[in-house]
Chain A
Amino acid sequence: MFKLSEIKELIKLVDQTSVQELELENEGARLLIRKPGKTEVVNIQSAPITHTYTQPAIAPTAPQTGAAPAEQLSSSAAVPVSTPADNLHKIVSPMVGTFYRASSPDNPAYVQVGDRVGEKTVVCILEAMKLMNELEAEVRGEIVEVLVENGQLVEYGQPLFLVKPE
């Protein structure tokens, strides 16, 4: 039998390499990990695609103004890299705009790590075209992590806060 921690480790390893498929048999138990999508004939056409993808100068989903490219890449690559505990709730941005932690530069941040929030608690401002939009938590719990920086451009669906729900 494979232990859960072993399986998690194997998944991580396969994910981080170009291995497409991994099959293991151990004491009667069989584990198959397979990446979706790419087929046998990848070597003919995909070379130009992977070229662009891995070029360091081009980070297609990292905005110029962002100070934390790692978060941007993981959020738009749809690969859940942040999994210390999978039951954390992500507050994501419902629009494109600039993320502000407080209502003005002189005011304190709406929330800090460790703060408790309710559904109606305002957690940040998202500004677009001079319009300030207050974002509500829509969940009850505790702020575990702030994922973006003050003044950063955020895109639709981008995770902003990690919350441990009640």
Chain B
Amino acid sequence: MEFQKILIANRGEIAVRIIRACREMGIGTVAVYSEADRDSLHVRLADEAYCIGPTASKDSYLNLTNIMSVATLTECDAIHPGYGFLAENANFAEICDSCNIAFIGPSPDAISRMGDKSVAKQTMKEADVPIIPGSDGLIEDVDDAVAIARDIGYPVIIKATAGGGGKGIRIAEDEDSLVQQITMAQQEAEKNFGNAGVYLEKYLIGMKHVEIQIIADKHGNAVHLFERDCSIQRRRQKLIEEAPCPVLSPELRERMGQAAVRAALAVDYSGAGTLEFLLGPDGNFYFMEMNTRIQVEHPVTEMITGIDLIKEMISVAEGKPLSFRQEDVQINGWSIECRINAEDPERNFMPSPGQIGFYLPPGGPGVRVDSGAYPGYMISPHYDSMIAKLIVWGATREEAFATMKRALSEFAIEGIRTTIPFHLKLLNHPKVIQGNFDIKFLEEHDLN
């Protein structure tokens, strides 16, 4: 079957990204927006657009009822949830199914199995994917936690099973610290995620965050599209991503890729997904979590493989087999992405919402900008602070670095503070240039 019309249940740059893919495929687009997003680019670009609620996300972009109403009343064939919001909401996926509207993503079952972090770990263990040493499921009580921690060794990390995106995480250095934090962690989890379940893991040092992109169809085919190194993070939020990973050997790449494919097949996955791993300096890798959606940093994978992931997601949701096999995909060149946020790096990344005045994104060979911004656009304080994703491609890592620095220095955004100067500093840091930075890099190094 071919989709005639897709509703994009998201906003900002990813909504623009999805609309672009639909346009190229000849599919009609329906945008939804909150009152605050009335003048957004995704609203202007779509064929139809409907206001679905007031500013607050819970009343608009998370408003299942209003979104489904628009989808059914405008006769959409499918909904693309983007990332965040309802993208990993198994309930929403089920409601789409019962309204006969295709959810462009995996099945509700795959979403639940991977969404519950401790269930996901168990599933991976059974699929022979290496996992981080830790508790076998959720912690019952403090004594349970202490016993497990004695077994795996300190320091340990306490994680909320319903958490994600770097939230709901605490470190315990020793037994006293663990005893103190376990109850607090459970209460926090209940408050923030509606689920008090927490589990323990060994806290590993010197790790890189290396994730594998996979894509699977509904005919049992799953292919990995290599890795992305996302170790440069501030408070667990990614700032810069690159593909491929500068320290991965071809042999390790193959092993990680195959592990990711096994994981996808273990949950009958379909659509695009990402397996996040921690990679140690000793070459051991451990499963962290699976994101059952398209990721923010998907463009770097697109740049090195030449595959349009959004179009492929749509095609898979239509029931078609993948348009390529594992042997057809190859790494070509190097790609880096910088997330440009409306934050002031000189004031501890204080959010800097406001109206964009002069706005000139960079251009030239090897430069791609994914953004919802335009001159006069109001970056509102109500949603995430991302203005644009600046992505570059180079034949080698050195060339990609040179192009990124050139592009960053051309990128003119006036009226608000941005993280562009910070990215330039990052790209000039010897450890970043060398490539062996780990996830604690920004915590341990002052860039000023």
Asked if A85 is an interface residue, CB under 8 A from chain B, the answer is: no
Tell me if A155 and B50 are in contact (CB < 8 A).
Answer: yes
Scan A37-67; emit 1 where CB is below 8 A from any B CB, else 0. Answer: 1110110111001001100001011111100
Contact with B along A107-138 (1 / 0, CB 8 A): 00000000000000000000011000000000
Any chain A CB within 8 A of the CB of B279?
Answer: no
For A98, the chain B residues whose CB sits under 8 A away are 73
B375 touches A46 (CB 8 A): yes
Q: How far is the CB of B163 from chain A (nearest CB, A)?
A: 31
Contacts of B376 in A (CB 8 A): 37-39, 42, 46
Q: A96-B70, A129-B65 are in contact. Are A157 and B35 (CB under 8 A)?
A: yes
Stretch at the interface among B215-223, B351-359, B416-424: B351-359
Complex CA–CA separation, A121 to B297 (angstroms): 52
Complex CA–CA separation, A155 to B51 (angstroms): 5
Interface flag for A95 (CB, 8 Å): yes
Q: Which of B82-100 contact A (CB under 8 A)?
A: 99
The answer, among B43, B52, B54, for a CB contact under 8 Å with A60, is B43
Bound complex: CA A61 to CA B37 (Å): 13
A93 to chain B, nearest CB (A): 9
Instruction: Summarize A's interface: helix, strand, loop or mixed.
Output: loop
Query: Would you call B48 and A76 a contact (CB within 8 A)?
Result: no
**Chain B residues whose CB sits within 8 angstroms of the CB of A77 once the complex forms:** 38
CB of B44 within 8 A of CB of A129, answer no
Check if B51 sits within 8 Å of A156, measured CB to CB: yes
Residue A24 interfacial (CB < 8 Å) = no
Number of interface residues of B (CB under 8 A): 35
Complex contact A65–B74 (CB within 8 A): yes
B38 and A96 contact, CB distance less than 8 A: no
B46 and A65 form a contact (CB under 8 A): no
A95: B residues at CB distance < 8 A: 65-66, 69
Which of B49, B54, B360 has the most CB atoms of chain A within a 10 A radius of its CB? B49
Contact of A64 among B48, B69, B357, B374 (CB under 8 A): B48
Across the interface, do B49 and A65 meet the contact criterion of CB distance under 8 Å? Answer: no
**In the complex with contacts A45-B359, A60-B43, A76-B38 CB distance below 8 A:** yes
A92 to chain B, nearest CB (A): 10
B48 touches A157 (CB 8 A): no
Tell whether A49 pairs with B69 under 8 Å between CB atoms, given A42-B375, A153-B74.
no
Find out whether the CB atom of B38 lies under 8 angstroms from the CB atom of A60.
no
Asked if A63 and B44 sit within 8 Å, CB to CB, the answer is no
Contact A63 B74 (CB under 8 A): yes
Q: Is B31 an interface residue (CB 8 A)?
A: yes
The reply to whether A63 and B65 contact each other, CB–CB distance below 8 Å, is no
Assess the B50–A53 pair: CB atoms within 8 A: no
Contact of A52 among B35, B45, B69 (CB under 8 A): B45
Chain B contacts of A78 at CB under 8 A?
38
The answer to whether B74 and A128 have CB atoms under 8 Å apart is no
Closest A residue, CB atoms, query B43: A60
> Among A53, A62, A156, which residue has the most Cβ atoms of chain B within 10 A?
A156
For A143-166 the 0/1 string (1 means CB < 8 A from B) is: 000000000010111100000000
Assess whether A141 is interfacial by the CB under 8 Å rule. no
Q: Give Cα A95 to B359, complex, Å.
A: 35
Quick check: B51 and A153 within 8 Å, CB to CB? no
B123 lies within 8 A of chain A by Cβ: no
> Which among A42, A46, A76, A129 is the interface contact of B51 at CB below 8 angstroms?
A76
The reply on B81 being an interface residue by CB < 8 A is no
Taking a contact as CB atoms under 8 Å apart, the answer to whether A128 and B66 are in contact is yes
Q: Across the interface, which residues of A come within 8 angstroms of B54, CB to CB?
A: 156-157
Shortest distance from the beta carbon of B246 to any chain A beta carbon, whole Å = 35
What 1/0 mask marks residues of chain B from 42 to 81 whose CB sits below 8 Å from any chain A CB? 0111111111111000001000011111101110000000
Find out whether the CB atom of A58 lies under 8 angstroms from the CB atom of B51: no
The answer to whether A156 touches B66 (Cβ under 8 A) is: yes
Instruction: Other than A64-B48, A97-B69, give 9 A-B pairs with Cβ distance below 8 A.
Output: A41-B358, A45-B359, A52-B45, A60-B46, A76-B49, A76-B51, A129-B72, A156-B35, A156-B53
Chain A interfacial positions (CB closer than 8 Å to B): 37-39, 41-42, 44-46, 49, 52-53, 58, 60-65, 76-78, 95-98, 128-129, 153, 155-158
Hey, which bits of chain B sit against chain A, CB under 8 A?
A: 31, 35, 38, 41, 43-54, 60, 65-70, 72-74, 99, 355, 357-360, 374-376
What 8 pairs between A and B have smallest CB-CB spacing?
A128-B69, A96-B66, A96-B69, A155-B51, A155-B50, A37-B376, A156-B51, A60-B49
A-B contact pairs, 16 of them (CB 8 A): A39-B376, A41-B357, A41-B375, A45-B359, A45-B360, A46-B375, A46-B376, A58-B47, A63-B48, A65-B74, A95-B65, A95-B69, A96-B66, A96-B70, A129-B65, A153-B50
